[in-house]
Structure 1
């Protein structure tokens, strides 16, 4: 049929801050370009939005940017606009809203968020500053705000009570692209990694990249398992979740006066009205000392939660955050970057309970939630912030800036190293002035697909048209030729390997600058950089270099370091990771 590129089954996907921005050094009074930031549009593909939240107030906003081509089709009882009769203009923070046919007829056709997830992610990235907010009269008290409070929001509701259907997600991508979004934020993912031509998020993000739009995607919540990251495509930025220096501490006093301190979970599931004894772990193995065995009237007390600061182990990648390596393209490092995703405080839908248990009746305007879904909009907001300073930058340039300026994270707290945190921890302020950027475009990604065995027909599935796009004749390139801000290589068990990474950087720092490469490599690696000095006469000038990595057999599964280009002002850091194929890939049978 004309106009149809591919047909595949629709499947269901799942959705996966008063302190978080300050924790990253991104305070309330950072430099901004207000007139440009107000023209930046972030498209959120999620569960909708609660437009009446103070975080999305129209106060102080003008008409939508002239480039905006979208509509406000929010459905029942949903309004994007505030109309001023005096000047006959609409004023908008939320400039666009769309929803897609829902699978459950019991739900109302509307972009309105009844789950809370979409409201939370949108306010994390782009919410207005709202002062003196908290959860339950004091918890997480502070000023809630997004990274780019002056930016505009476009909402694409593809998620309903039954989940997020893949065909609806692809429709949302198409609309966000044609409407004029600058950044697409999608905090959704599969239950396991999918090959790119079957992954609608990868396909939609490829189409967005073709139109100059960067897609930020959550890495997944599949936990402390290798190869569990579900966001693997190199043309989007994949985000892992970390802790911050803020904790919400609970005290539980048991019947024998034993006190438990910390982030205590009594149960993580619905008890359906039943009662169970509270016991500590060691008592489960020593019932003769368990007080409930000898005291029929044992009770327990849970005290009110308190907020404390504890910077000693922050940031650390949380256990639920999906880990690499990349099961689809092993020689491309994933995740790309990490950002706060634990106990994030942001706006919420008042028709969704804070615990999300169906029987709870409490109503909140702001809520504390954890997940890589919460980390993703931090990167989306940071990308929009960079875009406000550099409106003409390509998606890959923005991604490179975020990755190469990320703060290094200690492997002592993160034993999975780069497979947990990618290039490091998000640093929005430094990303505005990265010095050098690595850029890749559609042709580069097509060559990468050719290098992993994609046929012309498979590539057409990604490109999204019926053109004659195909692999170059007799193409001999490798994945290592993709101009990526990180470098990864997989080694056969107990064997060494040599890899050659060809890279090109563009000067976005200062004219007449000289960058020198520095690298400290572990004993298992020998690394050379040629040339190791780059001279730039002008802005936007490009220079190329080659990194050769020779890895020797090692008892360690993962060995990593980084190459840093510095002109004395900018430090452009790219991680280098070598890992051994004896790491178990549970997805081998699926791909």
Structure 2
């Protein structure tokens, strides 16, 4: 919505509030109101959709008295009028008003307010973007994403950060229609857009009063934005570790930033919808959303799913985070199949900091703060005597107890590890050993503490405890070994990365793919928990971990692919990424999960992104936006719900469409359930040739001995580019009902030049029962985790 239009809506709503505010005493809440399709407004009577929505609201509202500190007469009732993402509007309403509204002919449903949550110097080289000799590799083939616009929805962004320097950047393409609310010294050809969306959030949260500029105290938005499209920054580092040239995945792409999240307040659904609504009209090419809700519910009320569908209708690639609620099964967020859902994995970079005990035993650890002034000598080793050894009791962490000593602290309690380090630093402790939770396994995500620190695995603490119990005067020292590369057990999946199966569409593998999401160095306003940074750029970069970090990696890579292949659909780009992934680590062994066991597909997705191969996948599984409509009908959505999702496409009726079941959606992965005799399922797929005009592909299927996979035909011959060939995959149990809960395999289409790989998941029974409660789902999740 442009400024005049939005001001007009607010003015009209304010006048309505003045007229009727004194006749209503109900309590207001924010609601998303879905309007019936194909209900349309009279273009002669209303100049635009916003005026029409305001009239619908006025027709049923008595303008309840606002329970706000401000004068209720000044409070507009209409919050947002949506154009692209959904056929409807958001407004503040009372239950009585909702009841009255439900009796009108234009009303479909009212969805109550909901809050969503937010979920580098080496990764470009690790991912092969630069090639062995700069600037070869994917960057060379895609001109680093030049001319592509990446829209990031997140918290605030840091104006003037070196990652957003526009020096040498060309102007944005003519299609760009957005605006940047920073001044001309900050807005440039790199950061071309920056806006804040807060109309809905400010009704619920004190302290969100007209933040005209999209700035906040968190590092999240700056970190994700610089990861996706940050400029080159030589000498970037995290407290002196990980020195290198920082760059986003698409360093020549333009960045448009949309603030929808606020510190300690989350991200309001209606603000997310409004931001996507404007981003689509602004002209973005890629949307990056490190935002999600683990219980988002059906797609008809999920802003990421709704906005994402509107995006793909315009050819916009939409990249989202899988969430950080692993390792329990069934926790994956952003489940819609038109979204790329990204899990997290480790990189091969570590900053080693070992612990050497007084008995000579050395224990491996990591640390991103390795001060040259630290003298590595044996010092008294003590543990926290209270708060379950978590160093969360400030009365114990006094100078008398810790000065000049090495302190052993377990993660947990009522303080963060950074807060503990700061308290110990102030109390004069020489160093701290942080023990990571047992659930984290072998994956450590260290931070740069205010004092010398080593962060170690939980199982290593047993050796330290045994030593401390064996002597009256235990001692220890830290040995800093600097930054090393080439961890042969990477990539690996961290415990926090959310796992499938999807609850909304269990017949589709989610997450789709994994990318770098552990110990990522990228831009921040100011590092957390530090003493004096060792150099100027250490003020500007920090380490963060999460699927929030893996998402912008894939968003940036999508921009590179889109630049190299401008005619490819979002589904084709997604397919190129998913069918060319790595599933083995640097040892050429299956990638591991956090606990040292091989990672299954519900943790890893199709695999770890390989941008070089994704640029030239050979074949793609293509889908248009329209192709998802029969699939939505197959999921059981009503016509009203389906039309709400596909808005602003023309309304349709499911009975007039051929139903497409989950297994038959033309997706790059295959998921089937063999829970009924004869324990065999046929799956339909179509592939489009995007490689050499003339090519022959032969099918190779891999599966355990208990399952047969037959491909018909098993040979595909192509004679031209963009030619489409169809095939059927028959998956069957060889000996009746499968005993194993989940079986994994893969289908490969192999030519002389390409290998196109699709994951196959076979389940012996349905993952979730319909209409289960949250408690029932958690029980099912626990059983599924045990059975994988």
- If the length of structure 1 is used for normalisation, what is the TM-score? 0.88
Are the structure 2 counterparts of residues 303 and 41 from structure 1 closer, same or farther at C-alpha, using a change threshold of 3 Å?
same
Q: Do the aligned partners of 1:113 and 1:119 also contact (CA within 8 Å) in 2?
A: no
Q: Which residue of 1 aligns with 2:245?
A: 143
Q: Which residue of 1 aligns with 2:178?
A: 70
Question: Are 1:226 and 2:370 an aligned pair?
Answer: no
Are the structure 2 counterparts of residues 536 and 457 from structure 1 closer, same or farther at C-alpha, using a change threshold of 3 Å?
same
CA offsets 1:493-533 (integer angstroms, 9 cap, x no match): 9x773222111111111112221111222212111111111
Mapping 1:184-583, distance limit 5 Å: 184-252=287-355, 259-263=362-366, 266-267=410-411, 269-270=415-416, 273=423, 291=468, 295=472, 301-302=477-478, 304=480, 306-350=482-526, 353-355=527-529, 364-409=539-584, 411=590, 413-414=592-593, 415-465=598-648, 467-473=650-656, 475-492=658-675, 497-552=679-734, 553-581=737-765
Q: Which secondary structure state, in structure 1, belongs to the residue aligned with residue 344 of structure 2?
A: strand
Q: Which secondary structure state, in structure 1, belongs to the residue aligned with residue 112 of structure 2?
A: coil
Q: Do the aligned partners of 1:240 and 1:322 also contact (CA within 8 Å) in 2?
A: yes
Q: Do the aligned partners of 1:565 and 1:572 also contact (CA within 8 Å) in 2?
A: yes
Deviation at 1:190, TM superposition (A): 1.2
Bigger share in helix: 2
Deviation at 1:342, TM superposition (A): 0.6
Q: Which secondary structure state, in structure 2, belongs to the residue aligned with residue 334 of structure 1?
A: coil
Q: Which residue of 2 aligns with 1:42?
A: 150
Question: Are 1:81 and 2:179 an aligned pair?
Answer: no
Q: Do the aligned partners of 1:551 and 1:578 also contact (CA within 8 Å) in 2?
A: no
Q: Do the aligned partners of 1:561 and 1:576 also contact (CA within 8 Å) in 2?
A: yes
Q: Which secondary structure state, in structure 2, belongs to the residue aligned with residue 8 of structure 1?
A: strand
Are the structure 2 counterparts of residues 474 and 157 from structure 1 closer, same or farther at C-alpha, using a change threshold of 3 Å?
closer
Mapping 1:76-225, distance limit 5 Å: 80-82=186-188, 92-101=189-198, 103=202, 104-106=205-207, 108-137=211-240, 139-161=241-263, 162-225=265-328
Deviation at 1:368, TM superposition (A): 0.9
- Equivalent-residue separation in structure 2 for 1:400 and 1:469 (angstroms): 27
Q: Do the aligned partners of 2:501 and 2:510 also contact (CA within 8 Å) in 1?
A: yes
- Equivalent-residue separation in structure 2 for 1:588 and 1:364 (angstroms): 48
Are the structure 2 counterparts of residues 578 and 496 from structure 1 closer, same or farther at C-alpha, using a change threshold of 3 Å?
farther
Are the structure 2 counterparts of residues 586 and 248 from structure 1 closer, same or farther at C-alpha, using a change threshold of 3 Å?
farther
Q: Which secondary structure state, in structure 2, belongs to the residue aligned with residue 313 of structure 1?
A: coil
Tell me the C-alpha RMSD between the 2 structures: 3.2
Q: Which secondary structure state, in structure 2, belongs to the residue aligned with residue 43 of structure 1?
A: strand
Are the structure 2 counterparts of residues 586 and 192 from structure 1 closer, same or farther at C-alpha, using a change threshold of 3 Å?
farther
Are the structure 2 counterparts of residues 542 and 464 from structure 1 closer, same or farther at C-alpha, using a change threshold of 3 Å?
same
Are the structure 2 counterparts of residues 35 and 145 from structure 1 closer, same or farther at C-alpha, using a change threshold of 3 Å?
closer
Are the structure 2 counterparts of residues 511 and 309 from structure 1 closer, same or farther at C-alpha, using a change threshold of 3 Å?
same
Segment drifting more, 145-154 vs 474-483: 474-483
Deviation at 1:25, TM superposition (A): 2.3
Q: Which secondary structure state, in structure 2, belongs to the residue aligned with residue 312 of structure 1?
A: coil
Are the structure 2 counterparts of residues 527 and 306 from structure 1 closer, same or farther at C-alpha, using a change threshold of 3 Å?
same
Deviation at 1:535, TM superposition (A): 1.6
- If the length of structure 2 is used for normalisation, what is the TM-score? 0.67
Q: Which secondary structure state, in structure 2, belongs to the residue aligned with residue 262 of structure 1?
A: coil
- Equivalent-residue separation in structure 2 for 1:279 and 1:111 (angstroms): 35
Deviation at 1:10, TM superposition (A): 2.5
- Equivalent-residue separation in structure 2 for 1:582 and 1:452 (angstroms): 14
Q: Which secondary structure state, in structure 1, belongs to the residue aligned with residue 140 of structure 2?
A: coil
- Equivalent-residue separation in structure 2 for 1:346 and 1:286 (angstroms): 35
Q: Which residue of 2 aligns with 1:85?
A: none
- Equivalent-residue separation in structure 2 for 1:586 and 1:331 (angstroms): 14
- Equivalent-residue separation in structure 1 for 2:618 and 2:279 (angstroms): 30
- Equivalent-residue separation in structure 2 for 1:286 and 1:38 (angstroms): 52
Q: Do the aligned partners of 1:491 and 1:578 also contact (CA within 8 Å) in 2?
A: yes
Q: Do the aligned partners of 2:151 and 2:279 also contact (CA within 8 Å) in 1?
A: yes
Segment drifting more, 184-193 vs 24-33: 24-33
Q: Do the aligned partners of 2:696 and 2:715 also contact (CA within 8 Å) in 1?
A: yes
- Gaps of at least 5 residues in structure 2 are 1-34, 36-51, 54-86, 89-108, 368-408, 436-457, 778-788
CA offsets 1:250-291 (integer angstroms, 9 cap, x no match): 334568776542248743533675899979878999999774
Are the structure 2 counterparts of residues 21 and 33 from structure 1 closer, same or farther at C-alpha, using a change threshold of 3 Å?
closer
Q: Which secondary structure state, in structure 2, belongs to the residue aligned with residue 39 of structure 1?
A: coil
Are the structure 2 counterparts of residues 285 and 569 from structure 1 closer, same or farther at C-alpha, using a change threshold of 3 Å?
closer
Q: Kindly tell me the number of residue pairs found equivalent between the two proteins.
A: 572
The structure 2 residue matched to 1:60, chosen from 150, 168, 171, is 168
Deviation at 1:300, TM superposition (A): 5.8
Segment drifting more, 552-561 vs 448-457: 552-561
- Equivalent-residue separation in structure 1 for 2:324 and 2:670 (angstroms): 24
Deviation at 1:44, TM superposition (A): 0.3
- Equivalent-residue separation in structure 1 for 2:434 and 2:248 (angstroms): 41
Q: Which secondary structure state, in structure 2, belongs to the residue aligned with residue 32 of structure 1?
A: helix
Q: Which residue of 2 aligns with 1:87?
A: none
CA offsets 1:459-493 (integer angstroms, 9 cap, x no match): 12211348422214374432122111110113439
CA offsets 1:412-462 (integer angstroms, 9 cap, x no match): 624441111111110111111111111112221111111111110111221
- Gaps of at least 5 residues in structure 1 are 83-91
